[in-house]
Amino acid sequence: MSLTLLWLLLPIAAVSGWYIARLEYKKNSKKTLVNLPQDYFKGLNYILNEQPDKAIDIFMKLSELDESTFEIHLALGGLFRRRGEVDRAIRLHQGLINKPSLSTELHTQALQELAFDYIGAGLLDRAEDLCLELIDVDANNLVALNLLRDIYEQEKEWFRAIDLARKIAVCKNKSQSLIIAHYYCEIALQALSKNDLAQTNRMLSKALQEQHNCGRAIMLRAQLEQQSGDYNSAIKSYKWLETKAPECLSEILDELKKCYQAIGQKEKMVAYLKHLIHDHHGIELVLTTARMLKEDEGDDAALAFLSDEVSARPSLRGVQYLLELHLAKINDENGHLAVIKSSLDMLLKNKPVYHCSCCGFTGVDMHWCCPGCKTWSSIKPINEFQWGASI
């Protein structure tokens, strides 16, 4: 038996076991014993023989369903969807919703599963129609509300997504302000792509009204100020991140440096970075400071600073740059240190620098919405001083 087939059958066995136990309980309680239809066993036999289409035909022809047999239908449909056989999941769930014997509750569950199938197949319009139908029946259907919001995210219908987020906040009695702030940032970016600066600023203001410490909105506003040549205001906005969203500091160092250079006060940034290092200890802060010291004061100043930092808080990326500085100073391209540096470069080449605090996704690029679990603002820079030298 193939491994794939085994994974298909395990949940079916679990559901069937639950059903048999339920029947046994009814028997012991002197309740009516209802047997599974023989066609169900024929359908399961087709599954065993890897003939899923024939199994679906059998299941769809069954005239009556109770809660137990309905659960088996859902389990099969979900398995087909997870295996990428979305067309089969759709057939099975469409057959379910056409059963006249289904209760309102079961019919709703079948519609929800069908909406998941449509999303898996990329049929967002059909999924949207189903979700709207479900919400018309029950305005507090959180499954449908969340699905519809996900659809609007994929379609970049951000104003609609905001409306859904506000409805979800009411249903869950839980703030969605962080997510809504990101939606406003997305709208601001759309406006910026059309060079509509007035709309861009309005949307960023709304984002900050929703979430006063929205690092993304603060960064976008600082970038607008920088692009307009208002470098002092941009510096002030970038520095605002220190208290509002310190996890974003590593993302703005290059732009902050450009602002200080534009006003001829580059040395002030070095002093500011040393202040940040004292409070936040980020490796990007350390490396940027070392590079700026190298540019302004030479290799010796950079080496002295970086040696102290690496001694106090060990970091592989810190050691990597320390070796680079030292090799440049002694001009030894073929010695043992050069071999160590080359090996370290290879080891760190594709190491992740960001991770998701929700699902553990890692990567080398910053994402405001996690590609893995689709959670907003969950991607953070990996702190080598906390995670250790394995990063």
pLDDT computed for residue 391 by the predictor = 38
Report pTM: 0.80
DSSP conformation letters of 66-101: -HHHHHHHHHHHHHHHHTT-HHHHHHHHHHHHT-TT
Asked if 24 contacts 70 with a C-beta cutoff of 8 angstroms, the reply is no
Query: Quick one: residue 380, left, alpha or beta (phi over 0 = left, psi -120 to 50 = alpha)?
Result: beta
DSSP state of 31: P
Residues 6+ apart with CB under 8 A from 206: 184
Burial of residue 189, with CB atoms counted within 10 A of its CB: 0-12 exposed, 13-18 middle, 19 or more buried: middle
Q: For residue 354, list its beta bridge partners.
A: 363, 381
pLDDT computed for residue 34 by the predictor = 46
Which of helix, strand or coil describes residue 356? strand
d(CA 180, CA 12): 40
Structure tokens at 319: 């050691």
- State the angle between helix axes of 266-280 and 231-244 in degrees (0 to 180), rounded to the nearest 10: 10
Per-residue model confidence as pLDDT tens for the chain (391 residues): 455 544 555 555 544 554 455 555 444 433 333 455 555 555 555 555 555 566 555 555 554 555 566 777 777 777 778 778 788 888 878 877 877 777 888 889 889 999 999 998 899 999 999 999 999 999 999 999 999 999 999 999 999 999 999 999 999 999 999 999 999 999 999 999 999 999 999 999 999 999 999 999 999 999 999 999 999 999 999 999 999 999 999 999 999 999 999 999 999 999 999 999 988 888 999 999 999 999 999 999 999 999 999 999 988 999 999 999 988 888 766 678 888 888 888 988 888 889 999 999 999 889 999 999 999 999 998 876 544 443 3
pLDDT computed for residue 149 by the predictor = 96
pLDDT computed for residue 95 by the predictor = 77
d(CA 375, CA 182): 11
